[in-house]
Amino acid sequence: MSEKILVTRSSMPDLDEYCEEIKKLWDSHWLTNMGVEHRKLQADLENYLDCPNVVLYTNGHLALENVIAAMEFEEGSEVITTPFTFASTTHAIVRNNLTPVFCDVNPDDYTIDTEKIEALISEKTVAIVPVHVYGIICNVERIQEIADRHGLKVIYDAAHAFAVKYNGVSAANFGDASMFSFHATKVFNTIEGGAVCLRDPKIVEIMNDMRNFGIHGPESVTFVGGNAKMNEFQAAMGVCNLRHLDDEIAKRRQIVEHYVSRLEGVEGIRLVKQQKGVQSNYAYFPVVFDGYKMTRDEVCALLAKNNIIARKYFYPLTNSFECYAELETAGAEKTPVAAYLADRVLTLPLYADLPAEAVDRICDIILS
Ligand code: T4K
């Protein structure tokens, strides 16, 4: 049988390049706590993302959890969000003792349906947490307009949207804050890692302390913080990977174009359209099987039989997780469009070095 193809594969620099980058850590014995690699990566990212306030974290989830905490919302407040996402988005809200209120998504681009947000706003609503799912940019103008009208904060889960730009503006710069994930499976990785990009310098200071036990100075602890610092080996990986990112994205683009050339226009197969004004990062390749000769589950099983591991990102919806059974706002039936998509979507393998022949093999199996 042909070699196994997984849904993605981590981008890595040459071993020599990474060794050169971490050599200084051996010389200095300084391994973590905002060392030289941490400072370099932060500066590189502020430049790359065109954002003056980047706070690095050991992973994207804690970055999201902490930025929500840093906003200091009253316990029990409501946060409007989408269930068509990874567990992390909803968990970050609930772990802050806030109530997620699930808004349905658009059938075309799978991001939060801005026409349905206002009906969900109550006197308890404090924020909107939309997701640029698969790197698809939400309707950021409309979201901001709603937030401004109702005095709400907007915190983007931009885990998938690193390097994406909309009308020339980096995804780092929408709303009050944006969280990026630098997990091994992402377009840009620091092994594990993440960052928050912020507008308000006061929140930057809070987050800097929060990720380091709330320590503000040698003799001052101002928050009951945790430990969520990015270490020097993670930062060094990021420094190296960032040098090659634009090439990696260009390669991903070719692969996506190849997939599109094979699958576009096939009856019962829906692809996401290129968004107007968006410079994409080609993070995922979601395909919706809607009225196709095979169901999504049948396609997934057939690919697996052929050693190709596609994934059902994002099934099940977070509002149908067992851990939220007690939550009054839970229930996939309350977000029917998201539920429909979650039952039909499959993300196909995509990474910079995926050979064109592999794309053909995958498409041949799907179309067989
Ligand atoms: N918000 C959203 C919308 C997110 O999608 C995520 C994470 C977060 C927040 C939280 O960010 P982080 O705290 O993770 O920074 C993966 C990732 O673990 C997770 O980061 C990601 N989203 C989610 C969508 O996917 P799994 O359980 O699917 O990963 P796993 O281990 O099955 O890996 C998938 C494939 O990736 C493997 O088949 C092969 C490849 N892989 C995996 C690893 C771990 C590699 O090539 N190298 C590796 O080291 O969750």
Structural domains of the chain in order of their starting residue, each with its CATH number:
15-240 (3.40.640.10), 245-367 (3.90.1150.10)
- Select from 66, 86, 160 the residue to mutate for testing ligand 1; criterion: most ligand atoms less than 8 Å from CB: 86
The helix or strand, by DSSP H or E, that contains position 252, with its residue range, turns out to be helix 232-263
* Backbone phi and psi for residue 323, each to the nearest 5 degrees, phi listed first: -65, -10
Q: Is 82 in the pocket of ligand 1 (CB under 6 A)?
A: no
Q: Is 81 in the pocket of ligand 1 (CB under 6 A)?
A: no
CA–centroid distance, 275 to ligand 1, in Å, is 24
CA distance 4 to 304: 9
* Higher-confidence position of 194 and 2: 194
Say what angle helices 201-210 and 60-70 make with each other, to 10 degrees.
120
Q: Is 60 in the pocket of ligand 1 (CB under 6 A)?
A: yes
Q: Are 103 and 335 in contact (CB under 8 A)?
A: yes
Q: What is the DSSP letter of 182?
A: -
Average pLDDT over residues 38-51: 98
For all residues of the chain together, what is the average pLDDT?
A: 97
Protein residue closest via CA to atom 50 of ligand 1: 185
CA–centroid distance, 238 to ligand 1, in Å, is 16
The amino acid occupying position 362 is I
Among residues 314, 293, 291, 290, the alpha carbon closest in space to that of 302 is found at 293
CA–centroid distance, 163 to ligand 1, in Å, is 18
Q: Is 234 in the pocket of ligand 1 (CB under 6 A)?
A: no
CA distance 133 to 352: 19
CB neighbour list of residue 198: distance below 8 Å, 6 or more residues apart: 53, 55, 67, 176, 177, 204, 207
CA distance 219 to 197: 28
Average pLDDT over residues 143-168: 98
pLDDT digits (tens, 9 = 90+) for 95-147: 999 999 999 999 999 999 999 999 999 999 999 999 999 999 999 999 999 99
Average pLDDT over residues 288-308: 98
Average pLDDT over residues 73-95: 98
Protein residue closest via CA to atom 10 of ligand 1: 61
Confidence category of residue 2, pLDDT binned at 50, 70, 90: confident
Q: Is 9 in the pocket of ligand 1 (CB under 6 A)?
A: yes
Average pLDDT over residues 266-275: 96
For the beta sheet containing 345-348, the strands, ordered from the edge strand earlier in sequence to the opposite edge, are 269-271, 285-289, 345-348
Strands 99-102 and 269-271: unpaired
> Which atom belonging to ligand 1 lies closest to the Cα atom of 182?
15
pLDDT surpassing 70 at residue 1: no
pLDDT surpassing 70 at residue 189: yes
Q: Are 277 and 166 in contact (CB under 8 A)?
A: yes
pLDDT digits (tens, 9 = 90+) for 206-226: 999 999 999 999 999 998 999
> Which atom belonging to ligand 1 lies closest to the Cα atom of 92?
9
CA–centroid distance, 305 to ligand 1, in Å, is 22
Q: Is 229 in the pocket of ligand 1 (CB under 6 A)?
A: no
- Select from 183, 192, 309, 312 the residue to mutate for testing ligand 1; criterion: most ligand atoms less than 8 Å from CB: 183
- Using the structure block, give the residue that is written with the tokens 């095979």: 294
Q: Is 125 in the pocket of ligand 1 (CB under 6 A)?
A: no
Average pLDDT over residues 143-170: 98
CA distance 292 to 100: 34
Q: How far is CA 179 from the centre of its chain?
A: 8
Q: Are 224 and 214 in contact (CB under 8 A)?
A: yes
CA–centroid distance, 212 to ligand 1, in Å, is 25
Protein residue closest via CA to atom 5 of ligand 1: 86
> Which atom belonging to ligand 1 lies closest to the Cα atom of 133?
3
pLDDT surpassing 90 at residue 320: yes
Q: What confidence score (pLDDT) does residue 64 get? A: 98
